[in-house]
Amino acid sequence: AQSVTQPDIHITVSEGASLELRCNYSYGATPYLFWYVQSPGQGLQLLLKYFSGDTLVQGIKGFEAEFKRSQSSFNLRKPSVHWSDAAEYFCAVGLNTGGFKTIFGAGTRLFVKA
Amino acid sequence: NAGVMQNPRHLVRRRGQEARLRCSPMKGHSHVYWYRQLPEEGLKFMVYLQKENIIDESGMPKERFSAEFPKEGPSILRIQQVVRGDSAAYFCASSSRKQDSGNTIYFGEGSWLTVV
Kindly report the average pLDDT of chain B as a whole number: 91
Mean per-residue pLDDT pooled into runs of 10, chain A (114 residues): 89 97 87 91 91 91 95 96 96 76 91 94
Region B1-11: mean pLDDT is: 89
Nearest chain B residue to A6 by CA distance is B42
What's the pLDDT score for residue A3?
87
For residue A10, which phi and psi values (nearest 5 degrees)? -130, 145
Closest by CA to B69, choosing from B84, B81, B57, is B57
In this complex, do A103 and B107 lie within 8 Å of one another by their Cβ atoms? Answer: no
What's the pLDDT score for residue B114?
96
Residue among B103, B107, B112 minimizing CB distance to A100: B103
Tell me the per-residue pLDDT of B43-67, one tens digit each, with 9 for 90 and over: 899 999 998 899 889 999 999 999 9
B40 residue type, one letter? E
What's the pLDDT score for residue B83?
97
Q: How confident is the model at residue B104 (pLDDT cuts 50, 70, 90)?
A: confident
CA distance B109 to chain A (A): 4
Nearest chain B residue to A89 by CA distance is B42
What's the pLDDT score for residue B110?
94
* H or E element that contains B76: strand B75-79
In this complex, do A102 and B45 lie within 8 Å of one another by their Cβ atoms? Answer: yes
Partners of residue A101 in chain B, C-beta under 8 Å:
33, 45, 48, 56
In this complex, do A36 and B107 lie within 8 Å of one another by their Cβ atoms? Answer: yes
Q: How confident is the model at residue B17 (pLDDT cuts 50, 70, 90)?
A: very high
What's the pLDDT score for residue A52?
84
What's the pLDDT score for residue B6?
97
What's the pLDDT score for residue A6?
95
Tell me the per-residue pLDDT of B85-94, one tens digit each, with 9 for 90 and over: 999 999 999 9
Region B61-88: mean pLDDT is: 96
Interface of A with B in 12-41 (CB under 8 A): 32, 34, 36, 41
Residue among A36, A43, A101 minimizing CB distance to B109: A43
CA distance A60 to chain B (A): 15
Is the separation of the CB atoms in B26 and B2 below 8 Å?
yes
Q: How confident is the model at residue B42 (pLDDT cuts 50, 70, 90)?
A: confident
Question: CA dist A51 to A34, A67, B99, Å?
Answer: 9, 10, 11
In this complex, do B48 and A42 lie within 8 Å of one another by their Cβ atoms? Answer: no
- Put simply, whether A105 touches B (Cβ < 8 Å) is yes
Interface of A with B in 58-87 (CB under 8 A): none
What's the pLDDT score for residue B10?
96
Other beta carbons less than 10 A from residue B111's beta carbon: 23
Residue B98 has pLDDT above 80, yes or no: no
